[in-house]
Amino acid sequence: MKASKRIWAVLLTVAILATLSLTLTGCGRKDDTVTVRYLNFKPEIAGKYQELAELYEKQTGVRVIVETAANNTYEQTLAAKMATDEAPTLFQINGPRGYANWADYCADLSKTQLYQHLTDKSLAVTAGDKVVGIPYVVEGYGIVYNKAITDKYFALSGRKTDFASMDEVNSFAKLKALVEDMQARKADLGIQGVFASTSLKTGEDWRWQTHLANLPLYYEFRDGKVDLTDDKATAKVAFRYAQQFKNIFDLYTNNSVTEKSRLGTKTVMDSMAEFALEQCAMVQNGNWAWSQIKDVAGNKVKEENVKYLPIYIGMEGEESQGLAIGTENFYAINAKATEEQQKAAADFIYWMYSSEQGKKYVTEEFGFIAPFDTFGEQDSPTDPLAKEIVAWMNREGVTSVPWNFTLFPSAKFKEDFGASLLKYAQGNKDWDAVVRDMVAGWERESTAATT
Amino acid sequence: MDFRQLKRWFPVFVLPTLVAFCVAFVVPFGMGVWLSFHRFTTVTNARFVGLENYVRALTADTDFLRALGFTALFAAVSILLINVLAFTLALLLTRPRRGQNLLRSVFFMPNLIGGIVLGYVFSLLINGVLGLWGVDITYAAKYGFWGLVLLNVWQLAGYMMVIYIAGLQNIPGSLLEAAAIDGASAATTLWRVKLPLVMPAITICTFLTLTNAFKLFDQNLALTAGAPEGKTRMLALDIYQTFYGRAGWQGVGQAKAVLFFLLVAALAAIQLRLTRSREVDA
């Protein structure tokens, strides 16, 4: 009796230990076959990526494992996964600043086939002679407007402006005149304000502290002839066109659905819902927002009425300014993976952007505007905002604004600037202080992030 | 089995738990401390930098110290309010009355709701009220502060109440009877009999509310996320944002986390000593 009890005790202990060690080593098992591990940034198309991966495996026998980071957790997820034996072989960086963090992990991609087909090589992230990030989607943002509402305005009698269509609105002065008169006539137009809420809740303010701030800084870099590849040259800014930033920011907040003192709790989703429900006529956002507009319950906006206007801020010669076009999504291949794995990853992305099936997924399912010469005119996405982006990119005599915000020094810089803008909107901070803090913050964060 | 035999088998029985404890607790903790002396992107790619992270945590900006100040003030106010309220509720609900169990459950329930959800619900409530004056919780740091206090009190008071009820019920009836016969007033009974005897419960409750206040994260993130301008950012949130806010600052975040641990451990130890020394036997 005693002996059997003892045996039981030992057996149970062994069993517990065995399960424990199994679960621990289970994560560390290695595959002999070459696989591609991709850490996907876009949760909204995770399922589609999965389908594409299965298709690829069926055709080539190479297994592609797609893992997806939840919204806004890409860096965290990547940091956690990189430390495991199952580190992604294919991942993405968000530009030069993102590269700084992952420099040890980014392989040189200049010899890859996909890079050879990149239409505009200047879009890639480079470090010296190395190409470390290949952009895989081109996106754009501007002021999205609802043509049904602007047309209603143009049909009103007793207007203060004499525009006949939105095509005539091509500068800040004209935009301001239009917006202010529309705001005055909001009851006639059936809206609560011209612009959707300027969402300034912490974490929801990237449309202003990043996207909107890109415009004055693009002009500052351009006019100062700053070499954008030189970290020292971009370590300081003067915020030279702060007044222009204030122009447009004030226009947004003064002619909004929401009063200025209550912007601190508004989210991007709130803004998009206001636009979708026709409570407002305009909202600043990028082409990725179409799915958000479309999916709002009770959505009233018709697809054919969704149009883009460039963000005019009052710069000289801005009549020829286009939308802000660029990307924050760059493929990177893990330099610490074996050579075979690196090659497998490069082959997979090349297949995705060159084979008929891959391209079909990219344009139709992902809705990407792909920056590669393997894509013809007919291979472009069909959603209204993406179509508008393509149209604006191809418009004669219009220059797109590049995405220079990939040079913004750190996430903390953006958060601080956003918080500062909120206080300004609430009337608790004067504009000079906002500008001063922005300039100081840029310099501080530039040195902090690189040392 | 005599004692010697039992001792012989001791390692066999303790081993599974010991292994689990090491893997899930000792190793990550040790790694965390180790990483705080390194510059790193991932745990496998770290470079030793000595005390640099600690220096930067305290001197590069005032974020950490400001968060510390805010957290300390928050902790002081909420410890006081929670315990007073919880004790009062416990006193009321240990008197025989109808619906006692229902009321106890109702007060305890907030504790079962997750922090993020609670923060979200409270932000709707508070903003709804502040909306009457045309502002929201991000408008001034004091709104955020009192919002957080309100939330924390609401969430924890019921939990502490349960502990106090247990403490009050453990007071022997004969003692209270003796006090009544000696002609002690209700106030005297409370101060001289009940309070000294629930001292163990007070120890536990202050300990729990203290550590809870310092570690508060979800509620802070969901309610204010530090707005306006990081003035309502508490320690845990500051550590989180340091870790992810800048390239190459993960080590600094880690150093702050180690400092945070030392601070909370020290405070809790002091508090335990102080309240323990007042505990008496019935």
pLDDT at A141 over 90: yes
Count CB atoms within 10 A of the CB of residue A165: 10
In this prediction the pTM is 0.81
Count CB atoms within 10 A of the CB of residue B29: 12
pLDDT at A28 over 50: no
Alpha-carbon dihedral sign for residues B81, B86, B91, B97: positive
Place of tokens 């909306």: B131
**Mean per-residue pLDDT, A327-351:** 92
Question: Which of B40, B143, B244 is most worth mutating to test chain A (most A CB atoms within 10 A of its CB)?
Answer: B244
Q: B12 and A97 in contact by Cβ < 8 A?
A: no
Q: Do residues A115 and A280 touch, judged by C-beta distance below 8 A?
A: no
- Which is more confidently placed, B97 or B57? B57
Strands (E), chain B: 38-40, 46-48
Report how far residue A54's alpha carbon sits from residue A56's, in angstroms, rounded to the nearest whole number.
Answer: 5
pLDDT at A23 over 80: no
Question: What is the DSSP track for B66-92?
Answer: HHHHHHHHHHHHHHHHHHHHHHHHHHH
Question: Which of B53, B139, B221 is most worth mutating to test chain A (most A CB atoms within 10 A of its CB)?
Answer: B139
**Mean per-residue pLDDT, A351-366:** 89
Tokens of A348: 């997979």
- Asked whether residue B7 falls in the same domain as residue B79, the answer is no
User: Is A396 inside a domain boundary?
Assistant: no
In chain A, the largest separation of any two C-alpha atoms, in whole Å, equals 102
Residue B85: domain span: 64-276
Q: Which of B44, B131, B246 sits opposite A410 (nearest CB)?
A: B246
- Asked whether residue A188 falls in the same domain as residue A299, the answer is yes
* ipTM confidence: 0.77
pLDDT in tens, B164-175: 998 888 888 888
- Asked whether residue A83 falls in the same domain as residue A163, the answer is no
- Give strand pairing partners of A68: A40
- Asked whether residue B40 falls in the same domain as residue B139, the answer is no
Percent share of chain A, pLDDT over 90: 52
Phi, psi of A41 (to 5 degrees): -90, -25
pLDDT in tens, A189-242: 999 999 999 999 988 899 999 999 999 999 999 999 988 877 788 889 999 999
- Asked whether residue B165 falls in the same domain as residue B94, the answer is yes
Q: What is the mean pLDDT of chain B?
A: 87
pLDDT at B5 over 80: no
- Asked whether residue B247 falls in the same domain as residue B177, the answer is yes
- Asked whether residue B187 falls in the same domain as residue B265, the answer is yes
Q: What pLDDT does B262 receive?
A: 93
pLDDT at A4 over 50: yes
Q: What pLDDT does A29 receive?
A: 47
pLDDT at B94 over 70: yes
Q: What is the mean pLDDT of chain A?
A: 88
pLDDT in tens, B102-139: 888 888 888 888 888 888 888 889 988 988 888 888 88
Q: Do residues A201 and B225 touch, judged by C-beta distance below 8 A?
A: yes
User: Is A15 inside a domain boundary?
Assistant: no
Tokens of A449: 């992030």
- Asked whether residue A309 falls in the same domain as residue A335, the answer is no
pLDDT at B11 over 90: no
Report how far residue A360's alpha carbon sits from residue A362's, in angstroms, rounded to the nearest whole number.
Answer: 5
Residue of B nearest to A79 (CA): B42
Count CB atoms within 10 A of the CB of residue A275: 29
Q: Which of A9, A104, A426 sits opposite B12 (nearest CB)?
A: A9
Q: Which of residues 191-230 of B touch A (CB under 8 A)?
A: 224-230
Which chain A residues contact residue B225 at CB under 8 A?
Answer: 201-203
Give the β-pairing of A321-326 and A399-402: parallel
Domain count, chain A: 2
Report how far residue B280's alpha carbon sits from residue B198's, in angstroms, rounded to the nearest whole number.
Answer: 9
User: Is B282 inside a domain boundary?
Assistant: no
- Which is more confidently placed, B83 or A3? B83
- Which is more confidently placed, B111 or A451? B111
- Which is more confidently placed, A15 or A188? A188
- Asked whether residue A199 falls in the same domain as residue A85, the answer is no
pLDDT in tens, B206-262: 889 998 999 999 999 988 888 788 889 999 999 998 888 887 788 899 999 999 999
Q: How far is CA A413 from CA A78, A232, A347, A451, B229, in A?
A: 22, 17, 37, 16, 12
- Asked whether residue A248 falls in the same domain as residue A362, the answer is no
Count CB atoms within 10 A of the CB of residue A264: 28
Which DSSP state fits A145?
Answer: E
CA dihedral B55, B57, B59, B65 (to 10 degrees): -130
Q: What pLDDT does B131 receive?
A: 84
Q: Which of B19, B61, B229 sits opposite A423 (nearest CB)?
A: B229
Residue A129 pLDDT grade (very low, low, confident, very high; cuts 50, 70, 90): confident
Question: Which of A101, A198, A408, A412 is most worth mutating to test chain B (most B CB atoms within 10 A of its CB)?
Answer: A412
**Mean per-residue pLDDT, A54-62:** 92
Residue A300: domain span: 140-325+401-450
Residue B26, judged by CB atoms within 10 A of its CB (0-12, 13-18, 19+), counts as exposed
Q: Do residues A82 and A332 touch, judged by C-beta distance below 8 A?
A: no
For residue B130, the distance in angstroms to the closest alpha carbon of chain A comes to: 9
Report how far residue A106's alpha carbon sits from residue A111's, in angstroms, rounded to the nearest whole number.
Answer: 14
Q: What is the CATH number of the domain that holds B174?
A: 1.10.3720.10
Q: Compute the C-alpha angle A289/A293/A298, nearest 5°.
A: 170
Q: Do residues B228 and A422 touch, judged by C-beta distance below 8 A?
A: yes
Q: What is the CATH number of the domain that holds A201?
A: 3.40.190.10
Q: Quick check: helix, strand or coil at residue A325?
A: strand
Report how far residue B53's alpha carbon sits from residue B43's, in angstroms, rounded to the nearest whole number.
Answer: 16
pLDDT at B271 over 90: no
User: Is A263 inside a domain boundary?
Assistant: yes
User: Whats the size of chain A, residue-wise?
Assistant: 451
* B60 at A interface, C-beta within 8 A: yes
Q: What pLDDT does A2 receive?
A: 62
- Which is more confidently placed, A19 or A39? A39
Q: What pLDDT does A70 receive?
A: 81
Tokens of A343: 């090659």
- Asked whether residue A133 falls in the same domain as residue A148, the answer is no
pLDDT at B74 over 70: yes
**Mean per-residue pLDDT, A252-258:** 94
